[in-house]
Amino acid sequence: MAFGTLPAFNRMRFPFRVLAPTLIAFSFVSLASPAETANEAIARATAAVRAAAPRAQSDPARPIFHVIAPAQWMNDPNGPVYYRGCYHLFYQLHPFSDGNGPKYWGHVRSRDLAKWEPLPIALAPSLDAGEAEVWSGCCTFNGQGKPMIFYTSIALGKSPQTHAEQWAAIGDDDLLTWRKCSANPVLSEALHDGKKVYDWRDPFIFRDRTRTFMATGGNLNEAKGGQAVVNIYEAQNPDLTQWKYRGVLFQIPDPGARTAECPNFFKLGARWVLFVSPYGKVQYFVGDFDPETCRFRAQTRGLLDSGPNFYAPNTMQVPDGRRLVWGWVNGFPDGRGWNGCLSLPRLLSLSRDGQLRQSPVPELTKLRRKPVEWRDLRLEPGGRPLSLPKTNTLEIHADIDLETAEGLVLAFKSGAGDARPVTIELSPSEFKMKDADLSLALDKSERNLGLRIFIDRSVLEVFVNETACATKVISPLDAGATLELQTRGGIAQAKQVQAWPMKTIW
Ligand code: FRU
């Protein structure tokens, strides 16, 4: 099977992992010399992405205000970091096709979280050192202030399920060029004192007072599942090249959980929050961390995004203290010269009862053009179509008082053609969209719905009262699309509906 024909992310990716090393060895070695250095690999990858860019960038379904690779396949956001006035984001990139394949690290940066600049590929596998892929990880600064990327190194011909190492690279002052550390592997399996960790990957560094820790994902029981864990390590030197295994930070409490990819562990207010991507919808846990025992005790949990197309999120703390998150938007059709983008940056906070709250960062308002607005619309069971601005890149705000309505239905309908409308259904207790159902804990007396909806050609992101989010790949709307609002029995009042055409981030 060619990489280009592999299905986009879904649970089917797992069997691919098993086959991956063999496939990678064949396809990759036929293209690259076995002695290729990382710099040579970057040059070859850059040429491949450049050649694919005209086709990818002329595709009318390709998002314009979500971070995306110039062309080809991309997945997880990696190493989000703020440094010297810029927000940097890296991402998993397969530069040689728009299907899954050996991973590199792409790179973008922004001064304001609204406009972004594509940068040269940051990290490539060092075939000359037996490395086939550079998988997900983080970016931090060591005790000397040197920028460091920590990532999972996949060796040529080895299965990532059973063999992985955590490597580091040191960056220049602009975070543009990276040199692999001479101390690699900085973490190897031997650290686990004989305990086998499967799918061991995705280093995430966090600090507690003066101590530096790393979390990694994996599982302890590959054959049967049910022992998905986040392991924890503590740095033993300021260079961050020596680490000590401190055990299992947290075991995912679901018997069926197969693994815990891309752990993120950070303090939010007075609590600690853990994100894990378990080959399914991304989970969050909120609780307490004891740095002495290195154990996390979770009190509440939930889903980061109830949509079918959001995975492997990664967070960044910015200088004003805010914690932001980006996820990988996946599930696009194959064969367009591009596949995958990142979600919009979301600002994280916690409610009093330990539920995660997410809202699009306020900086995104810079991307708005002149809005169309409606006020005080009475909504009933019969549809009420509103003509949207003639574009398929939109932000929509709706401020709705549910009054006597049992529920509300919003349908985005294309002007022509027979495309099925994109429908969002809400009640005080439920949020429903195709492939995305979530219970909403709206207070019974609270009848107000605050909706923010972003439509970026084939990406839909919905935020409901900052408590429920859903990301979904859709067919782009055409010009002349309408938004139809109706209740499911009873009356509601749309106090204000606004629709802004959105500018590109590039
Ligand atoms: C998540 C993931 C990570 C891994 C990377 C490889 O989507 O599987 O666990 O490091 O993708 O691209």
The answer, yes or no, to whether residue 283 has pLDDT greater than 80, is yes
How confident is the model over 141-167, as pLDDT tens digits? 999 999 999 999 999 999 999 999 999
Interstrand relation of 147-155 and 178-180 (parallel, antiparallel or unpaired): unpaired
pLDDT band at 444 (very low <50, low <70, confident <90, very high): low
Cβ contacts of residue 210 below 8 Å, gap of 6+? none
Q: For ligand 1, is residue 312 a contact (CB within 6 Å)?
A: yes
Q: For ligand 1, is residue 199 a contact (CB within 6 Å)?
A: no
The answer, yes or no, to whether residue 251 has pLDDT greater than 80, is yes
Å from CA of 428 to ligand 1 middle: 36
The reported pLDDT for the residue numbered 26 is 39
Strand partners, 438: 431
- Encoding tokens for residue 3? 């990489």
Torsion sign, CA atoms 396, 397, 401, 406: positive
Cβ contacts of residue 101 below 8 Å, gap of 6+? 3, 24, 27, 28, 73, 94
Å from CA of 312 to ligand 1 middle: 7
Of the candidates 284, 255, 254, 258, the residue with the CA atom closest to the CA atom of residue 272:
284
Averaged over 210-236, what is the pLDDT? 92
Q: Which residue has the higher pLDDT, 446 or 44?
A: 44
The residue behind tokens 């069971």 is 381
Whether residue 232 contacts residue 249, with contact meaning beta carbons closer than 8 Å, is answered with yes
Of the candidates 474, 461, 297, 485, the residue with the CA atom closest to the CA atom of residue 398:
485
- Residue 444's CB is within 10 A of a number of other CB atoms, namely 7
Q: For ligand 1, is residue 184 a contact (CB within 6 Å)?
A: no
How confident is the model over 385-433, as pLDDT tens digits? 999 999 999 999 999 999 999 999 999 999 876 678 899 998 888 888 8
How confident is the model over 286-328, as pLDDT tens digits? 999 999 999 999 999 999 999 999 999 999 999 999 999 999 9
Q: For ligand 1, is residue 166 a contact (CB within 6 Å)?
A: no
Whether residue 3 contacts residue 100, with contact meaning beta carbons closer than 8 Å, is answered with yes
Of the candidates 73, 148, 71, the residue with the CA atom closest to the CA atom of residue 103:
73
Task: Produce one character per residue of 411-421: b if its CB has 16 or more CB atoms within 10 Å, e if not.
Answer: bbbbeeeebeb
Angle at 471 between CA 470 and CA 476, to 5 degrees: 130
Q: For ligand 1, is residue 138 a contact (CB within 6 Å)?
A: no
According to DSSP, residue 481 is labeled: -
pTM, two decimal places = 0.92
Q: For ligand 1, is residue 202 a contact (CB within 6 Å)?
A: yes
* Nearest residue by C-alpha to atom 1 in ligand 1: 312
Å from CA of 136 to ligand 1 middle: 6
CA–CA dist 167, 103 (Å, integer):
14
Mutating to test ligand 1, I would choose from 10, 75, 283 the residue with most ligand atoms within 8 A of its C-beta, which is: 75
Q: For ligand 1, is residue 219 a contact (CB within 6 Å)?
A: no
Q: Which atom of ligand 1 is nearest to the CA of 261?
A: 9
Q: Which atom of ligand 1 is nearest to the CA of 17?
A: 8
DSSP strand E in 2-115: where?
72-83, 86-94, 104-110
Percent of the chain past pLDDT 90, that is, above it, reads: 83
Of the candidates 276, 262, 317, 270, the residue with the CA atom closest to the CA atom of residue 289:
270
According to DSSP, residue 22 is labeled: H
The reported pLDDT for the residue numbered 7 is 30
- Encoding tokens for residue 187? 């973490």
The reported pLDDT for the residue numbered 2 is 30
Q: Which atom of ligand 1 is nearest to the CA of 13?
A: 8
Q: For ligand 1, is residue 261 a contact (CB within 6 Å)?
A: yes
DSSP strand E in 241-309: where?
243-251, 261-268, 271-277, 283-290, 295-303
Coil, helix or strand at residue 307 = coil
The reported pLDDT for the residue numbered 99 is 96
* Cα-based distances in Å from 126 to 32, 37, 102, 205, 267: 11, 5, 12, 23, 35
Radius of gyration of the chain (CA): 23
pLDDT band at 442 (very low <50, low <70, confident <90, very high): low
Q: For ligand 1, is residue 258 a contact (CB within 6 Å)?
A: no
Q: For ligand 1, is residue 201 a contact (CB within 6 Å)?
A: yes
Tell me which amino acid residue 279 is. Y
The answer, yes or no, to whether residue 217 has pLDDT greater than 70, is yes
Q: For ligand 1, is residue 206 a contact (CB within 6 Å)?
A: no
CA–CA dist 9, 11 (Å, integer):
7
CA–CA dist 121, 106 (Å, integer):
5
Q: Secondary structure of 312-332 in the HEC alphabet?
A: EEEEEECCCCCEEEEEEECCC
Whether residue 284 contacts residue 298, with contact meaning beta carbons closer than 8 Å, is answered with no
Coil, helix or strand at residue 54 = helix
Cβ contacts of residue 83 below 8 Å, gap of 6+? 141, 147, 175
CA–CA dist 249, 274 (Å, integer):
10
